[in-house]
């Protein structure tokens, strides 16, 4: 089954404790992206990647890092999480940038 898999689905952590949210797709998509979704603000892009070893900042990259060492994986790293990073996070991939996005099931992160 074609899908984007995110882990974990839920995570509660403490301020400053490094964490990684994994994202993997099995569709051989070149384009991958991370979004966060907050009430009243909609989905905002954090980082995106157009191919292996090619990443770029989205609208809200502060406090996040990404890497794209393999085509299928695009982890999101929070080196020192803060409470304002409490949010619902989605990974998405597509064959062509902007078209036919497939989203992962989301990761609900709470930073206390």
Partner 1 sequence: RKEVEQDPGPFNVPEGATVAFNCTYSNSASQSFFWYRQDCRKEPKLLMSVYSSGNEDGRFTAQLNRASQYISLLIRDSKLSDSATYLCVVLNAGGTSYGKLTFGQGTILTVHP
* Residues that bind partner 1 in the complex, under the rule CB under 8 A: 33, 35, 40-45, 58, 88, 90, 97-101, 103-106, 108
Measure Cα distances from 2 to 10, 48, 86 in Å. 22, 20, 29
Distance from the first to the final alpha carbon of the chain: 36
**Cβ 7 to partner 1 shortest distance, Å:** 14
d(CA 28, CA 61): 25
**Cβ 80 to partner 1 shortest distance, Å:** 27
d(CA 89, CA 86): 9
Which is closer to partner 1, CB of 11 or CB of 88? 88
**Cβ 93 to partner 1 shortest distance, Å:** 12
Which is closer to partner 1, CB of 15 or CB of 33? 33
């Amino acid at each position: 089954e074609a899908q984007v898999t995110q882990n974990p689905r839920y995570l509660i952590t403490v301020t400053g404790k490094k964490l990684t949210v994994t994202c993997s797709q099995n569709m051989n998509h070149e384009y991958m992206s991370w979004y966060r979704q907050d009430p009243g603000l909609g989905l905002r892009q954090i980082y995106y990647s157009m191919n292996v070893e090619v990443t770029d900042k989205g609208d809200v990259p502060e406090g996040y890092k990404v890497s794209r060492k393999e085509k299928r994986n695009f982890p999101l790293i929070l080196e020192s999480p803060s409470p304002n990073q409490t949010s619902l996070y989605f990974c998405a991939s597509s064959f062509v940038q902007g078209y036919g996005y497939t989203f992962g099931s989301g990761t609900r992160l709470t930073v206390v």
